[in-house]
């Protein structure tokens, strides 16, 4: 849990996660990994990484027992000018993560294996990548969700289920959902 040897399977007491210097403003927990957002808009992850859910771009590193900061270059507004999005909100599914930036843009990464549904049945996975586009089984670095159903939406909130995501957008008449639709 953040800085424990893998041999420590279950804790009997509370343990402070060490290794994050900034003040933590929000956290989320997936199946076997965790995500923390700092007051500086940084994203830290730790735990299993077998489906790219840590967002670090490390395909061969399957476990981080201490928090690792996702490079800010992945949350780029203008890389040439070194301007990056600040992250404000995070949610985690079993093996995927979705974050909202200060300007209400979504970034997502992790498991991308559910290609079943979205509103209007466009066929997006839980991290928002459609069959016709970049449809890989995992996405190990964050990418901006530029389109979900048509125009670019500005999101206020998102919540992740095990293999799906639902969001409330400023410019939508109702919730927008994508990912696994096998349970309705």
Among candidate residues 15, 33, 20, the one with its CA nearest the CA of residue 95: 33
Task: Write out the residue range of the structural domain in which residue 154 sits.
Answer: 24-179
Asked, for residue 61, whether it belongs to a domain, the answer is yes
Say what the pLDDT of residue 33 is: 96
**Number of domains within the chain:** 1
Asked, for residue 6, whether it belongs to a domain, the answer is no
Asked, for residue 3, whether it belongs to a domain, the answer is no
Asked, for residue 139, whether it belongs to a domain, the answer is yes
CATH number at residue 52: 2.130.10.30
Low-confidence ranges of the chain (pLDDT < 50): 115-123, 130-134, 148-150
Give pTM, 2 decimals. 0.81
Residues 143, 154, 109, CA angle at the centre, nearest 5°? 20
Q: How many CB atoms lie within 10 A of CB 173?
A: 6
Residues sharing a CB contact under 8 Å with residue 77, sequence separation 6 or more, in sequence order: 83, 84, 85
Asked, for residue 12, whether it belongs to a domain, the answer is no
Asked, for residue 17, whether it belongs to a domain, the answer is no
Say what the pLDDT of residue 117 is: 32
Say what the pLDDT of residue 14 is: 73
Asked, for residue 131, whether it belongs to a domain, the answer is yes
């Amino acid at each position: 849990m953040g800085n424990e040897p893998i041999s420590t399977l279950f804790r009997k007491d509370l343990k402070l996660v060490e290794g994050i210097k900034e003040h933590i403003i929000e956290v989320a927990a997936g199946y076997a990994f965790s995500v923390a957002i700092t007051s500086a808009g940084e994203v830290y992850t730790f735990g299993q990484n077998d489906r790219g859910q840590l967002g670090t771009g490390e395909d061969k590193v399957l476990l981080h027992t201490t928090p690792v900061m996702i490079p800010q270059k992945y949350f780029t507004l203008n890389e040439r000018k070194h301007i990056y999005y600040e992250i404000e909100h995070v949610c985690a599914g079993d093996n995927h993560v979705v974050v909202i930036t200060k300007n209400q843009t979504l970034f997502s990464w992790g498991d991308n294996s559910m290609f079943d549904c979205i509103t209007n049945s466009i066929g997006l996975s839980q991290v928002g990548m459609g069959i016709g586009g970049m449809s890989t089984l995992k996405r190990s670095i964050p990418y901006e969700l530029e389109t979900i159903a048509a125009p670019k939406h500005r999101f206020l909130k998102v919540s992740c289920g095990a293999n799906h995501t639902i969001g409330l957008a400023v410019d939508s008449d109702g919730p927008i959902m994508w990912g696994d639709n096998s349970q309705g």
